[in-house]
Structure 1
Amino acid sequence: MTLTRTPIRAAVLTRAGSGLEIQDLHIDEPLPGEVRVRTLAAGLCHSDLHYIDGTLAIELPAVLGHEVVGEIVAVGEAKARHRIGERVVITISPSCGLCSSCVAGRATQCERSGELRQRERPKLTDARGAPVNLLGSIGGFAEELIVRESAVVPIDPAIPAREACLIGCCIATGFGAVVHAAGVSPLDAVAVIGCGGVGVAAIQAAKIAGARIIVAIDVHQAKLDRARSFGASHTLLSTDGLRDELELICPGGVDKSFEAVGSPHTAAQAFEILARNGTATILGLEKPGSRISVDAELLIEGDRKIRGAYMGTNQLPRDIPALISHHRSGALLLDRMVTSRWRFEEINEGFEAMKQADSIRAVIEW
């Protein structure tokens, strides 16, 4: 049987440390249970950058990108749950809805997520017909992509694509960690370490949740100045004297802390600034094999806790209507999180821009 494949362009990582190359590839037709999506916009995430610079390993050649919004252009079967023409957000954590984790409401911990990403033939191939790897089985830095139906969530097309794409990763992670994982309430004093996309989403979520104090912590003053406009009540430069300075704002420490940097040092810092019975939620992606060291006395005698919250423990089909409502009310400032916009062909310039101190999210658009 002859397979029908459509030519597309994609930004391909062929060698760590060398940037991305725009190449002509070929995309397959969607299989039953899948949809093909024309990409409209994609956010540039630090996890993508970690693969580009070699901090994290991935089988090459590969198409990165996972924070995506697009429009469905083909479905794998007539009885598909989604329609051609729908505007959708992509999630990197597809779920089966049937395993014990999914049934318990922990979709991001789906026990079949790896199985759901498997496919009988490659989604993308190069000019020679060789398969091209895809980050998270998505590969959002391409004109089109194929994902499972369970990995897309319809969204209001009135929201600009450059803003809507943020929902699939940095908003889902930062907002979900505050609301779902940590359960922040008006009784809580909160600290957020790292004021990039995920950190700013967490700050806004803490404000919406009514946290009584929100302390933004970063090494860049420019990011701290901007954090106040997103809801931070206090800002602190990350220094060796951080704990003493925080004591002046929150005697005894904060109730909930969120680490959005991705280093063992800041993860330990998030734990050390907790009040008794406090919880530190670690969101930053770290190198494989990294270890976080915590003070045993603070852990045991203070009943302090440290936890993860992969993708904010979100369930996007449930969460997106709430996120959109907060956006429309002006409480969730998606537009102001986009600090630079780039054409697809300028993707490497976009990654350089995201390294700047005042950057929150760089977005590429088609």
Structure 2
Amino acid sequence: MARIPITAAVLETPGEPLRATTVYLDEPGPGEVLVRTEAAGLCHSDLHYLNGSLAIVTPVVLGHEVVGRVDQVGTGVTRLRPGDRVVATVTPSCGACSQCVSGHPTQCLRVGELRERAEPLIVDADGVEVGSLAGIGAFAEAFVVREAALALVTDDVDPLAACLLGCCISTGVGAVVHGAAVSASDTVLVIGCGGVGMAAIQGARICGARRIVAVDLHPEKLELARQLGATDVILASDDVRGRVDTIAPNGVTRAFEAVGRPATAELAFSLLAPGGVATILGLMPEGSRINVDASALIEGDRKLQGAYMGGNRFLADIDLLTDHHRTGRLDLESMVTGVVSLNDINDGFDAMRDPQSIRTVVDFRGKVPA
């Protein structure tokens, strides 16, 4: 099959800037879909690979939080057609393995098989294979994935906001709804008010949590956290333990860590009420360890858990999330704090250091403000 020339931001050496260059994308094979990219969010997961704190084989096209239009479909594709608007997930599911049928599609046992293909997906001008993060590689004008990795999204959601549904929103809201089953009786603590943390705050508000406590280093983020649903905010430089004790004297019933550090994960667990659940969402450097008090875990009946990608149920959740957005209960637009072109993607990653930054989005439609 002929290959399609596209411009992509390629990571060649961890710690070095991405390089916008021409690569060659294979046409979709059986069960695959080619999507023309509209917008892609810059996630901290991408940053971990970019700066080398998480290992990845290079050269590689990063990016996974993405929305676009179906351009071509391979044989056997039945759910999607050219012109459909879709968001992608890093956790396609087969729908038939023991994890999928028991309600845990993000732990699909066949995800590796779903990403396998006979020919390299992307090559450079010399024919050398270029990898794609999570089998997507969204920092490119187009990408090819399995149909199972794509969910339909309606045209009434702006692309700059819609791309967030693929990662930070489905992770943060998913962790609240599915991973921790937050209810109106819960007091919720969210440590870290980036994209995933803000989504968790909104998810807790949607679920009707009685108190939602946001913790972050930056007052600018805490101000937005209040707008998105936090009832209480705490600067991380303050006495977090003392402040939480005032708000919830017996501890919080649900805590979410969205920073990606062992110390904040341990803090989240330590602030739980008996029977409480701490859900760790932040990716951490390889080899990281989390230490918890054994008696608090065992005698206090507390739980420490992960929720990879929020334990979301992607194909169903996108409809749920867009409904909440449509009715004003889920604010996506306020979370987009910067927009860049593909050529300026490195500036977008630099902007992550800005205290007011929540999500920077790469706009592939040529509509980036001057």
Q: Give the TM-score, by structure 1 length.
A: 0.98
Residue 316 of structure 1, CA deviation = 1.4
Distance 1:79 1:141 in 2: 24
* Per-residue CA distance 1:23-66 (angstroms, 9 max, x = gap): 11111110010000000000000010011111111000000000
Show the counterpart of 1:226: 224
Distance 1:355 1:47 in 2: 15
Show the counterpart of 2:270: 272
1:1-366 aligned within 5 A = 3-77=1-75, 80-239=78-237, 241-366=239-364
Residue 78 of structure 1, CA deviation = 6.3
Greater mean alpha carbon deviation, residues 112-121 or residues 200-209: 112-121
Distance 1:10 1:358 in 2: 27
Contact between 2:30 and 2:77, CA under 8 Å: does it hold in 1?
no
* Per-residue CA distance 1:195-225 (angstroms, 9 max, x = gap): 0000000000000100000000011111111
Q: Which amino acid aligns with 1:30?
A: P
Residue 79 of structure 1, CA deviation = 5.1
Residue 348 of structure 1, CA deviation = 0.6
Greater mean alpha carbon deviation, residues 293-302 or residues 88-97: 293-302
Distance 2:174 2:77 in 1: 32
SS at match of 2:337: strand
Distance 2:342 2:279 in 1: 34
Distance 1:294 1:79, change over 3 A: closer
Distance 1:213 1:10 in 2: 44
SS at match of 1:132: strand
Distance 2:286 2:115 in 1: 21
Distance 1:346 1:229 in 2: 30
* Per-residue CA distance 1:320-356 (angstroms, 9 max, x = gap): 1111111011110001110011111111111111221
Q: CA RMSD in A?
A: 1.0
Distance 1:299 1:239, change over 3 A: farther
SS at match of 2:304: strand
Q: Which amino acid aligns with 1:312?
A: G
Q: Which amino acid aligns with 1:157?
A: D
Q: Give the TM-score, by structure 2 length.
A: 0.97
Residue 80 of structure 1, CA deviation = 3.2
Distance 2:142 2:118 in 1: 19
Distance 1:205 1:230 in 2: 10
SS at match of 1:302: coil
Q: How many residues align?
A: 364
SS at match of 1:38: strand
Distance 2:138 2:13 in 1: 18
SS at match of 1:50: helix
Residue 239 of structure 1, CA deviation = 3.8
Residue 158 of structure 1, CA deviation = 2.0
Distance 2:72 2:275 in 1: 50
Distance 2:18 2:216 in 1: 29
Distance 1:192 1:325 in 2: 24
Greater mean alpha carbon deviation, residues 185-194 or residues 345-354: 345-354
After superposing on structure 2, the runs of 4+ consecutive aligned residues of structure 1 that deviate more than 4 Å are none
Residue 110 of structure 1, CA deviation = 0.2
Q: Which amino acid aligns with 1:278?
A: G
Contact between 2:71 and 2:82, CA under 8 Å: does it hold in 1?
yes
* Per-residue CA distance 1:251-272 (angstroms, 9 max, x = gap): 1110000000000000001100
Distance 1:301 1:238 in 2: 28
Q: Which amino acid aligns with 2:203?
A: A
SS at match of 1:353: helix
Residue 240 of structure 1, CA deviation = 7.0
Distance 1:318 1:78 in 2: 22
Distance 1:10 1:162 in 2: 18
